[in-house]
Amino acid sequence: MHELGVVFYVIDDVERVAKENDVEHIHSVTLEIGEVSSVIPEYLLDCWKWAIKKHDILIDCELKFEPIEAVTYCEDCQSNYSTVEFGKICPRCGSENTYLIKGNEFNIKEIEVY
């Protein structure tokens, strides 16, 4: 489960930002997670609940998610389509000359403080 490592990474970044801004407690953290990022939000949340108990600045901190739809671009017909629904093959022209343009991201979008 790589979600635990992801949580440690997020906590390290959030604590660094909090320290730089003299923040004593963080109310919530919002993450943007791409549909095909390989991060499973439910597992991430379980790891988060366990890990924040070990960091005073994060006690009772809520973890929020904003999904990013996976979109693929077809170079042959110059169209975008849903990656999750259709995969690598373009549903409009049948081409495999495609690439992912969004949906693999994992970003800390917002840190809310009291």
User: Please, is 41 exposed, middle or buried when counting C-beta atoms within 10 Å of its C-beta (0-12, 13-18, 19+)?
Assistant: middle
55 annotated among ligand-binding-site residues? no
25 annotated among ligand-binding-site residues? no
61 annotated among ligand-binding-site residues? no
Looking only at the bridges linking them, the beta strands covering 71-74 and 98-102 are: antiparallel
Judge contact between 70 and 100, C-beta under 8 A.
yes
Q: Which of 112, 89, 113, 114 is nearest to 31 (CA)?
A: 112
Q: Which residues are annotated as a binding site for Ni(2+)?
A: 2
Q: Which residues are annotated as a binding site?
A: 2, 74, 77, 90, 93
Q: Which residues are annotated as a binding site for Zn(2+)?
A: 74, 77, 90, 93
